[in-house]
Structure 1
Amino acid sequence: MNRIMPRLSAPLLVVGAFAVLSLGTVAGAVLVPTAAPQSIASTVRPTSVQATEITTTDEQTATLRVTARPAQKLSSRAAGTITADDCQPGGTVASGSSGPTVNDAVLVHLATSQPLWRDLSVGDTGADVRSLQAELSRLGQPVEVDGRFGAGTLRAVSRMAETAGASDARSWSTLPFARFIWLPAASVVIASCDTGMGQEVAAQGPVATLPQGVSDAVLTPLPDDVMAGDRVVVADGLTIPVDAAGRITSAADLERLAASQAYLRYRGSSSDSGPNGSEAAGPDGSASKPGMSVQYRLAQPTTVFSVPAAAVYATTGSTGCVVDEGHARAVTIVGSQLGETFVVPRDGSRIGSISLDTRKAPRC
């Protein structure tokens, strides 16, 4: 017996057809993979990045704390009548040059770290002898800096004094300290002359006055997180070396700072100067004037490589490792900024492509 199938109406057939098509579309969406949109694909995290080579002086703004030096007198150890004098206000006096002539004896300017305080005979020793020898050596005299006043030192100081104009120096058997005028630096500027031809000068009497200067200058506070290396401070084109503590140690450099336009503006711009231009003191006796704004940088430019901080691993202090072109490399960390670490390869070579995945990286 034949089974009679139910008769479907036309509307039901149409609905069924749409249902089949819908199921096919869903199945296709599930089974057929589609490419990620470009906006999503572009956010895939890279596994390596090219290191950026940077030439830098690691320049930073810093504050130079300056201690002013009051006006200073140059004194004669000899007493008598000024028989010759070429002192000029605004002129420059250098160590090893002639000073005023007292009773027809030429006095000689000499810049030593310790002022001469006694006559020196062959065989004498001491810090004053060593500082004399150091200055003679700086002036080009062949002398050993050993702190002992020997015949060689006597000949050297006699030659220097004779060159300066002391015609009797060759006959010296000892060093007559009264024939020398001590200078606080190798070269100084004269503010005023305190004696003149025909005037009397007493022992330890002033013969000239130096302008106000600088006795000390140091970065306060000393910037941290800086690259290692010799460093300088720069103010309006004036470049001066500083030591590891940020201090200007050379007397000549302190004189250069004192004579600079940057320092003159700094002193003139402050309203808390004391009498004669000295810095006003705070309750503890320290100078209360704010410091000079300077740039603190490396003396010579250096090359570093900028890499993502995540690329540096196995760090100990300022050392670490990176994976460069698949090889572990030892680096020195010299700084960091905004997620970037600045490194220098320990072997002095260049860095190329840096791996960002250091989870299984070997130690360098």
Structure 2
Amino acid sequence: MAKTSSASSGPSMGRGAPRGTPRGTVRRRFPVAGLLIAVILTAAVSVGAAAFLLPDRHPAILSRAKEITSAPVGIQRYDANRQISVIPTFSASRQMLINTSGTVTADHSGEGLVSGRAALAVDERPIVALATATPLYRDLKYGDKGRDVRALNDELARLGFGAPADTDRYTTRTVKAVKALWRGLGVTSDLDGNLAIADVIWLPQREAAVSDWNGVPGTMVTAGTTIGRIPGALTAISLRDGAAENADRTITVFGQQGVLKAGATRIDDPEFCARVTASPEFRMFAQSSSSKSVQGQSSGQSSGQSASQESVQGIDATVALTQPLDVMRVPAAAVFGVDGDTGCIASDDRTIPVTVIGADLGVSLIRPADGSEPSAGPSTVQVGGAIRGLTCPRG
């Protein structure tokens, strides 16, 4: 008997239908993706409602900072060193006279004129420059007396020739000193110890730059005529736009130091001015000023006008306290009731009068007004609201 196919053996089952599924039924699939979306939406709505219903809270980082009411006190050594500008004051420029006649055989003025050294040579004899407090105007010899003799003795003593300083007599020591001067210049003959005015050019200062110099080798010079011109001597230095201080200060100009007295804005100490004048830096300054003075005269200015304009430009200098101080270093806002250089600070609710010494980048440098040392003062000071309303007692 022939085999029948499976199609004829009864109702067929759908392709891929799972075993055990009753014939004639259809399997339904649940939408999983839709379920996930519903869950997410429900959670979002819940969070939003909670955020809306709960009270607002500021993050801790945005909360109001606590007010600072105290600050530490530091102690430092303070010398008030700072750069300033100073104005030099010069005497009038001077014409220099030669006291001999003849032919110039050597010129020694290339680096300026220096007391005790030869300025030039006339007929092979050195002509010495001497800076004396009183101009030399006559021949001097043993036994002479006068202000010019005292000035000669003082300068020869300063130069190290052993003359008797502070005496107005031409003594045997003066004779020996004059001989030593000439030997130092190379003169070994005709040394009688006298000083002939023909052998001297008088200087108003120890060292000086020279201009309009006529001591050129080969030229003729005549006694009583001008041999050259030197700029005016430095007589004082003043602070430019500077205020007086209540303590001595050390001032440094061209590497030379002097003392600017308390309450002063000008230093005119002759010894200090002489040291400044002798410095190489000042010589360069003087030569530059002299050149500008000549240019000014060629343009119609007087030498005085030109020198004045040069001086107004000022010279760089520094000042510092001669005796450095220990000071308290506090915030500038800690000092209240400031009047001039006086004020007050507060510590532990106690008001302390102070003197303001200086300032540095938002910091006040102070000392107790009663003269006590800063190390004995408070370790902290009050600031901000802690000093609001406090007053500083006067007197």
TM-score (norm 1): 0.61
Deviation at 1:110, TM superposition (A): 1.2
2:365 to 331, 334, 342: 342
Amino acid paired to 1:219: S
**What pairs up with 1:300-311 in 2 under 5 angstroms?**
302=324, 304-305=326-327, 306-307=329-330
**What does residue 98 of structure 1 align with?**
118
1:45-194 correspondence runs (5 A): 45-46=69-70, 49-64=72-87, 67=90, 70=93, 72-77=94-99, 79-82=100-103, 85-87=105-107, 90-102=110-122, 105-120=125-140, 121-122=142-143, 124-126=145-147, 128-151=148-171, 152-168=173-189, 170-172=191-193, 174-191=194-211, 193-194=213-214
User: Where does residue 259 of structure 1 map in the other structure?
Assistant: 283
Q: Equivalent of 2:237, from 213, 218, 233?
A: 218
* Bigger-Rg structure (1/2): 2
User: Offset at 1:95?
Assistant: 1.7
- Which residue does 2:9 correspond to in 1? none
Larger mean Cα displacement after TM superposition, 303-312 or 85-94: 303-312
Instruction: Return closer, same or farther for 1:61/1:252 CA change in 2, 3 Å cut-off.
Output: closer
Equivalent position SS for 1:116: coil
Go from structure 1 to structure 2 and tell me whether the alpha carbon gap of 1:215 and 1:182 turns closer, same or farther (over 3 Å shift).
same
Q: SS of the residue aligned with 1:297?
A: strand
Counterpart of 2:27? none
Q: Which structure 2 residue ranges, 5 or more long, are not aligned?
A: 1-61, 391-395
SS at match of 2:266: coil
Q: Please give the alpha-carbon distance, in whole angstroms, between the structure 2 residues aligned to 1:266 and 1:343.
A: 46
Closer, same or farther: CA 93–347 of 1 in aligned 2, 3 Å? farther
Q: How far apart are 1:54 and its partner, in Å?
A: 4.9
Structure 1 counterpart SS, 2:87: strand
Q: Secondary structure at the match of 1:118?
A: coil
Cα distance in 2 for partners of 1:131, 1:158 equals 17
Q: Point out the more displaced range, 340-349 or 297-306.
A: 340-349
CA contact (8 A) 1:308 1:341 kept: yes
* Counterpart-to-counterpart distance in 2, 1:227 and 1:297: 17
Q: Which amino acid aligns with 1:113?
A: A
1:53 shift after superposition: 1.6
Aligned with residue 246 of structure 1, among 257, 263, 266:
266
Secondary structure at the aligned position of 1:132 is classed as: helix
Partner SS for 1:86? strand
Check 1:262–1:145 CA distance in 2 against 1; reply closer, same or farther (3 A cut). Answer: closer
- The number of residues matched between the two structures is 310
**CA offset digits 1:235-287 (Å, max 9, x no partner):** xxx4444553434642452465653369838986x9x94447755649xxx94
Segments of 5+ residues of structure 1 without an aligned counterpart are: 1-36, 360-364
Aligned AA (1:129): V
Paired amino acid for 1:206: T
Match of 1:30 in 2: none
TM-score scaled to structure 2, two decimals?
0.57
Cα RMSD of the aligned pairs, angstroms, is 5.1
* Deviation by residue 1:174-229 (Cα, 9 ceiling, x = unmatched): 4333321112333334445424556543322233x246566455325551154734
